[in-house]
Amino acid sequence: MNTPFITKKSLGQHFLTSDIVPNWLCDAAAVQTGDTVVEIGPGTGALTKVLLERGATVLALEADARAITILKNTFTASVDSDQLVISHLDVRQLDLASLPELSDHGFKIVSNIPYYLSGHLFRTSLQTACQPSDLVFLVQKEVAKRAAANHQKGDKHSLLSLATQVYGDVSYVKTVSRGHFTPSPRVDSGIIAVRNISRQRFATSNEPFFFEMLHLGFAQKRKQLLGNLAGTFDREQLTHIFSTLGLPETIRAEDVSLENWLQLVAALSVHTASPD
């Protein structure tokens, strides 16, 4: 599919020109007839086309009015039948819970998203009150690898990996070379999938407090976790909690497993912050 207009760097536009990549994305999300799929930044519709062909109802969220015109002209029948609903929306203000077409865990998100909005869109797509059942993003390869970090295999955790994996089963699906896009980005991309999305891991842990502690723990990445937390909590209490959980006092935030993070947050939540 040839890009019919000059792309805007300000929107991070890199349009898919490959027929195979949209199928990889749809396969990763197991898109089938009857699914409701949110597509963020459809551009000129390479992925939209395959989503519609697989029988999904697509809610396309697009910031560029020029692209919306292309989509309406290309998929007129789907728009007329309401199989494709197009919204002119700046996804930086995206609130999935405000979209009347969606119900909690009643839809999937499948999107080739702008690199510069990756972190923001992971947050708004997972931390929303109206969660998807599954999420598949095509993002910068480095970001996808970082989000899918496998702690059991020795990978270091990051804010992104913990904030993503706490909501579901995360996997790195496939590398997509830069030649599949126009204009071609400077780096390769990667398909990442988050499946079985839920808040199950917060059954015994406070969700906002979990993220507050993550940000404290990673505030100075090279500093030991206990030292980062000691600015807010009593050091003696921290030492006791670390010992109880079997965590070395010298451990860094990136070396703590998700399960230990949840246990740590649960333990910290019962202690009063020090009055620094």
Q: Is 76 helix (H, G, I), strand (E, B) or coil?
A: helix
Do 148 and 25 fall into the same domain? yes
Q: Is 276 a domain residue?
A: no
Q: Is 2 a domain residue?
A: no
Q: Are 181 and 17 in contact (CB under 8 A)?
A: yes
Do 41 and 119 fall into the same domain? yes
Q: What does the alpha-carbon distance between residue 181 and residue 167 come to, in Å, rounded to a whole number?
A: 30
Please tell me which residue, 97 or 12, carries the higher pLDDT value: 97
pLDDT given for residue 13 in this prediction: 52
Burial of 183 (0-12, 13-18, 19+ CB in 10 A): middle
Q: What is the mean pLDDT of the chain?
A: 90
DSSP class per residue in 101-148? T--TTS-EEEEE--GGGHHHHHHHHHSSSS--SEEEEEEEHHHHHHHT
Q: What's the pTM value of the predicted model, to 2 decimals?
A: 0.90
Instruction: Give the pLDDT mean for 37-43.
Output: 94
Q: Is 34 a domain residue?
A: yes
Confidence of residue 186 (pLDDT cuts 50, 70, 90): confident
pLDDT given for residue 38 in this prediction: 98
Q: Give the chain's domain count.
A: 2
Confidence of residue 7 (pLDDT cuts 50, 70, 90): very low
| CATH (domain of 249) | 1.10.8.100
Which H helix or E strand runs over 239? helix 235-245
Provide the token pair at 79: 């728009």
Q: What does the alpha-carbon distance between residue 3 and residue 171 come to, in Å, rounded to a whole number?
A: 31
Domain span at residue 27 reads: 9-198
Contacts of 231 (CB under 8 A, 6+ apart): 216, 276
Instruction: Give the pLDDT mean for 81-106.
Output: 94
Do 77 and 148 fall into the same domain? yes
Pairing relation of β-strands 181-182 and 15-16? antiparallel
| Strands lying side by side in the sheet with 108-112 | 84-88, 57-62, 36-40, 108-112, 134-140, 189-195, 169-176
List phi, psi (to 5°) of 7. -70, 155
Residue percentage of the chain with pLDDT more than 90? 78
Instruction: Give the pLDDT mean for 14-27.
Output: 87
Q: Is 4 a domain residue?
A: no
Instruction: Give the pLDDT mean for 131-158.
Output: 95
Please tell me which residue, 115 or 37, carries the higher pLDDT value: 37
Instruction: Give the pLDDT mean for 166-173.
Output: 98
Do 185 and 232 fall into the same domain? no
Do 128 and 212 fall into the same domain? no
pLDDT digits (tens, 9 = 90+) for 202-253: 988 899 999 999 999 999 878 999 999 999 999 999 999 999 999 999 999 9
Do 194 and 213 fall into the same domain? no
Q: Is 161 a domain residue?
A: yes
